[in-house]
Amino acid sequence: MAQRRLLAVLAHPDDESFGPGGTLAKYAAEGVEVHIAICTDGAAGSVTEEFESSRGQLAEIRRLELEAAVEILGAQLHMLGFRDSGYTGDPANEDPQAFMNIDGAQATWRIVQLIRTIRPQVVVTHDETGGYFHPDHIKAHEITLAAFHAAGDPEQYQELGGEPYQPQRLYYTAFPNRWLKMYTLVMRLRGQDPRRMGRNQDIDFTNLGRPLSEMHLRVNTSDTWETKMAASAEHRSQGGGGGFAGWMPRWLQKRLFRWEYFIRAYPPARNGERDAGFFNGIAPG
């Protein structure tokens, strides 16, 4: 096959590492040209205490962290630079320029342009719940889905120039709720309320994840687990990825979280269909 190319469109600086980082690093290591587009500047994200005083420079800090992380993953970075929105209820969300509030078409063309330039056979983004209902994740999903279907249409976004290009597959990042059930049990045993998690206590862990039967692809990231951890650690203003399960011994984290899961959105999967990899069985080109 000709050069394999993958484009992942994700909402925030850190989503590439904390999310499908092991998979992105694995494909990059296998010679796939991996492109990561990050929609927002991350300036409304919650920060660890030591970074509270440098809030004004947060966008710049997060850009540097992201550049370092993406380099570790072995990918190429594209920053779209939209203004970060907060989680549901955050005052940052009243800003008309916040990513969640801008007109969809205003952002979709950016992804169309990336697809026509990079010409990825495979596109990856958040699922329609955004993983945990963050408005920026949902927005990234919406514009990527729209762009995926528009990029190959010569009638759409003609003003951008460039050859229309239709990627062959669209995948969503996802995680099964099976281990989440176990994890919420552990949280309760530790005296934590799984319905009020995250630094702002606004994430309901009992409402996350999807049944394993809805996953079409699972990737064993054992070989790139350390790479993912190293990339995650670059996001120091976000706690370096240690917050979620940092109290667990590393070997146990690796054992529990080495699989990364994806839902195939296009072409639609038949019931029970499973893919062996992003590029398995697709036509060259």
Interface with Zn ion (CB under 5 A): 11-12, 15
- List all residues 6 or more positions away from 78 whose beta carbon is below 8 Å from its beta carbon: 35, 36, 37, 38, 114
Q: Measured from the CB atom, is 33 or 128 closer to Zn ion?
A: 128
Provide, rounded to whole angstroms, the least separation between the CB of residue 1 and Zn ion. Answer: 32
Do 83 and 100 touch, CB atoms closer than 8 A?
no
Residue 15 Cβ vs Zn ion, minimum distance, rounded to whole Å:
4
Residues 6+ apart with CB under 8 A from 270: none
Taking CB atoms, the residue at the shortest distance from Zn ion is 12
Please report how close the Cβ of residue 134 comes to Zn ion at its closest, in angstroms. Answer: 6
Which helix (H) or strand (E) segment is 227 a member of? helix 225-233
Minimum distance, C-beta of residue 61 to Zn ion, in the bound complex (Å): 16
What is the Cα 266 distance to its own chain's centre?
Answer: 17
Q: Which is nearer to Zn ion, 66 or 150 (CB)?
A: 66
**Cβ closer to Zn ion: 47 or 150?**
47
Sign of CA dihedral 208, 212, 214, 216: positive
For residue 197, the cross-strand partners are 203
- How far apart are CB 272 and Zn ion at their closest, in Å? 30
Which tokens hold the place of 242? Answer: 């240690």
Pick the closer one to Zn ion by CB: 150 or 241.
Answer: 241
Question: Which residue, 99 or 109, has its beta carbon nearer to Zn ion?
Answer: 99
